[in-house]
Amino acid sequence: MTTAQDQPSVPPILYSFRRCPYAMRARLALAVSGEAVEHREVELKSKPAEMLRASPKATVPVLVLTDGVVLEQSLDIMRWALERHDPQAWLPADTASRADADALIAGNDGDFKFHLDRYKYPHRYGLPDGVEHRELGRGFLDDLQSRLVQQRYLSGAHFGLADAAIAPFVRQFAHTDHSWFAAQNWTRLAQWLHDFESSSLFARVMEKHPVWPGVGQGKR
């Protein structure tokens, strides 16, 4: 006879796309927290019906918890994972630190992301090039550089929530024109980004997964 305790635990399901910066930061928090998930890599041009039923917004990441609760926002996934287990103290420790991290992330997710999209994909927005938005986006990077001159990480003395939430977007900006980025006077920012991209954590969350569902998996 099989009892409830004998049943294998079923992990939450994460719908993700490897290069998406929102999905990337969610994976970073899940990885550092040690939370096990069933990783379902999706093809953005052909999203699985299971993901769309769980989250009609149709963007990644999506985390479906074992009780059926659906987390549709990357920051919600990060906080859910870290509130369960935060071995490296990524979450800000006090009210002032939380407000500072929230404001920094809001700047990233707001104006900086707006300009990043138009810099990286100008033709999607009917623009001849992305130079104007590159220049408009650089102000945020100037602010990050200034902060990193004063402290090792955006979060302070150690890598934390703000670093993990923002690094994937700075990485995308830098890789749009790597030569231009390298020529700017952002020595501390460039080192911070290099350290992030060279980390074992980044390597782990950037491992390639086959598109789900694969051969033999079928639809569930």
Look at the chain and report how many structural domains it folds into.
Answer: 2
Give yes or no: residues 179 and 81 share one domain: no
Enclosing domain of residue 76:
4-88
Residue 153 domain flag = yes
Q: What is the band of 218 on the pLDDT scale with cuts at 50, 70, 90? A: very low
Token match 């104007």: residue?
Answer: 132
Q: Which residue pairs, CB below 8 angstroms and at least 24 apart, start in 54-61?
A: 54/13, 54/15, 55/15, 59/22, 60/15, 60/16, 60/17, 60/20, 60/22, 60/23, 61/14, 61/15, 61/16, 61/17, 61/20, 61/22, 61/23, 61/26, 61/27
Contact indicator for 107, 140 with CB cutoff of 8 Å? yes
Domain end: 88, 114, 140, which one? 88
Residue 212 domain flag = no
**Using CA atoms, how far apart are residues 2 and 8, in angstroms rounded to an integer?**
11
Give yes or no: residues 152 and 196 share one domain: yes
Q: Cα 138 to chain center, whole Å?
A: 20
pLDDT tens readout for residues 147-171: 999 999 999 999 999 999 999 999 9
- What pLDDT does residue 213 have? 87
Residue 26 domain flag = yes
Give yes or no: residues 124 and 70 share one domain: no
pLDDT at residue 5 greater than cutoff 70:
no
Q: What is the band of 215 on the pLDDT scale with cuts at 50, 70, 90? A: very low
Give yes or no: residues 55 and 144 share one domain: no
pLDDT tens readout for residues 97-111: 999 999 999 999 999
pLDDT average, residue stretch 122-131: 98
Give yes or no: residues 28 and 67 share one domain: yes
- What pLDDT does residue 219 have? 44
The whole-chain average pLDDT of the chain stands at: 93
Give yes or no: residues 40 and 106 share one domain: no
Opening angle at CA 77, ends 71 and 78, nearest 5? 165
pLDDT at residue 84 greater than cutoff 80:
yes
pLDDT average, residue stretch 21-40: 98
**Using CA atoms, how far apart are residues 68 and 74, in angstroms rounded to an integer?**
17
pLDDT tens readout for residues 165-197: 999 999 999 999 999 999 999 999 999 999 999
pLDDT average, residue stretch 87-116: 98
Q: What is the band of 40 on the pLDDT scale with cuts at 50, 70, 90? A: very high
Helices first, then strands: H and E counts in the chain = 10, 4
Asked whether the whole model's pTM tops 0.85, one would answer yes
Q: What is the band of 216 on the pLDDT scale with cuts at 50, 70, 90? A: very low
Opening angle at CA 46, ends 79 and 164, nearest 5? 25
Residue 172 domain flag = yes
pLDDT at residue 8 greater than cutoff 60:
no
Contact indicator for 79, 88 with CB cutoff of 8 Å? no
Q: What is the band of 214 on the pLDDT scale with cuts at 50, 70, 90? A: low
